């Protein structure tokens, strides 16, 4: 946003929160557009700050918050100059193609300005989730915001946006029945798999991974008398889960070296960039169950990208429950929660309106402070004028966040 007087230089990661709404942008995609296989190939490895910096540069952004979940990959950006959504699509396509993942412009959703902010509010309120009302997305967005800040990828503008987004998500949970009926992707998937077993549940379950979805799956499965085996690359994380929910722990290397044959259920939800459970690893258990004439070996793969090789589902005696199956279940849930979604959208619209007023007020306060300093404080030294401007800007930010009747 152009200003009447040059502002003090700020590094890209310290962009001031009073920058105009036109600086906001969003570009991303989801399983609805790409399917889970292609979506998984776009996910940047956790902790790969260099790749995120390259993405920020490719998008021409000063700030970036990168979000990757089991059903979406999204970029929230603060831009030095306003752009049209098409430009963000083109830049993301170029970044993906440079990494060997071809995309079309039609594969991406992009928004700028207030529309970009509105999208963030809607996503955090689970209105675009695979499972409407799911309980994980707000936390995932909060962690993405914190990680971007810690890595020096984002600054005040996106931080303020996500503060407002989190407040809205809390209000939606508290004031609609979406909260009362909330369920996570992991919980929904496990409940689907339990339909394959009797009242006693699976006799022996293997849980691969140590993330939130694994924890929620373990919470459901621990209510049954069957044995739990926790598997992770880091043995200590598996041991922590075993101590928490009861069961045994095993490193991923040991599990792959000697895969057990007596398995009823394998649940996998990791952030691995490629499948870690091979078809050959599951073959002994599948053959044993097929020969015994019992129920199938149920494999629940919630990894994006896949944690289990897709060909595992072709083994005799294996029933594969993946993200596609969860998506089919979620359609029924959307119909059930249609009325609650309407109420949630009303709350989101109210929150977006407030956020827009706050940002415009803060931007006006900064421009006014700069004009005042230029006209009336020319006799001060540059550092003294900067101090006055900073005070006025901070005051404007505080006033902008007051209730409308006081602001």
Q: Where are the domains of the chain?
A: 12-180, 185-325
CATH level 2 (architecture), domain 185-325: 3-Layer(aba) Sandwich (3.40)
Gyration radius from the chain CA atoms? 25
- What pTM was estimated for this model as a whole? 0.69
Q: How far apart are CA 211 and CA 197, in angstroms?
A: 25
At 182, is the pLDDT very low, low, confident or very high (cuts 50, 70, 90)? low
Q: What is the pLDDT of residues 248-295, one digit of tens each?
A: 999 999 999 999 999 999 999 998 889 999 999 999 999 888 887 778
Q: How far apart are CA 311 and CA 300, in angstroms?
A: 14
Q: How far apart are CA 267 and CA 307, in angstroms?
A: 10
Cis peptide before 305 (omega within 30 of 0): yes
* Residues recognised as catalytic: 70
With a CB cutoff of 8 Å and minimum separation 6, the contacts of 228 are 205, 207, 218, 221, 222, 242, 245, 246, 247, 248
Q: What is the pLDDT of residues 136-174, one digit of tens each?
A: 899 999 999 999 999 999 999 999 999 999 999 999 988
What is the average pLDDT across 60-77?
95
The reply to whether CATH 3.30.460.30 applies to domain 12-180 is yes
Q: How far is residue 364 from each of residues 21, 88, 181, 396, measured CA to CA in Å? A: 12, 27, 42, 8
Q: What is the pLDDT of residues 6-44, one digit of tens each?
A: 333 334 444 444 457 899 999 999 988 988 888 988 999
Chain centroid offset of residue 158 CA: 15
Q: How far apart are CA 89 and CA 109, in angstroms?
A: 7
| Beta strands at 24-30 and 72-78: parallel, antiparallel or unpaired | antiparallel
């Amino acid at each position: 946003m152009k200003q009447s007087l040059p502002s003090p230089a700020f590094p890209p990661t310290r962009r001031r929160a009073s920058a105009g709404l036109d600086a906001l942008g969003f570009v991303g995609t989801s399983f609805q557009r790409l399917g889970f296989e292609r979506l998984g190939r776009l996910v940047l490895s956790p902790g790969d700050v260099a790749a995120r910096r390259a993405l920020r540069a490719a998008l021409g952004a000063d700030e970036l918050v990168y979000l990757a979940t089991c059903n979406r990959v999204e970029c929230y950006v603060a831009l030095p100059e306003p752009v049209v959504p098409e430009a963000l699509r083109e830049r993301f396509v170029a970044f993906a193609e440079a990494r060997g993942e071809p995309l079309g412009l039609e594969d991406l959703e992009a928004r700028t300005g207030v529309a970009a902010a509105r999208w963030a509010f809607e996503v955090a309120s689970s209105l675009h989730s695979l499972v409407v009302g799911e309980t994980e997305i707000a936390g995932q967005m909060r962690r993405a915001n914190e990680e971007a800040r810690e890595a020096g990828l984002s600054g005040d503008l996106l931080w303020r946006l996500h503060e407002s987004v989190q407040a809205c998500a809390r209000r939606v949970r508290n004031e609609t029945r979406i909260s009362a009926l909330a369920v996570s992707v992991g919980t929904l998937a496990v409940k689907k798999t339990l339909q394959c077993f009797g009242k006693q549940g699976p006799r022996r379950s293997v849980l691969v991974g140590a993330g939130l979805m694994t924890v929620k799956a373990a919470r459901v499965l621990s209510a049954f008398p069957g044995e739990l085996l926790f598997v992770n690359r880091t043995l200590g994380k598996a041991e922590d889960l075993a101590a928490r929910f009861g069961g045994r722990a095993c490193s991923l290397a040991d599990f792959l070296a000697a895969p057990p044959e007596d398995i009823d259920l394998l649940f996998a939800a990791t952030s691995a960039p490629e499948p870690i459970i091979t078809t050959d690893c599951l073959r002994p258990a599948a053959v044993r169950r097929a020969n015994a004439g019992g129920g199938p070996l149920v494999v629940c793969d919630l990894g994006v990208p896949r944690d289990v090789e897709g060909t595992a589902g072709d083994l005799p005696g294996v029933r594969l429950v993946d993200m596609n199956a969860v998506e089919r279940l979620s359609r029924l849930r959307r119909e059930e929660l249609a009325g609650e979604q309407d109420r949630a959208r009303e709350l989101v619209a109210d929150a977006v309106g407030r956020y827009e007023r706050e940002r415009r007020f803060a931007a006006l306060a900064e421009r006014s402070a700069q004009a005042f300093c230029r006209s009336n404080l020319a006799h001060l030294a540059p550092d003294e004028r900067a101090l006055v401007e900073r005070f006025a800007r901070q005051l404007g930010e505080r006033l902008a966040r007051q209730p409308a009747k006081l602001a």
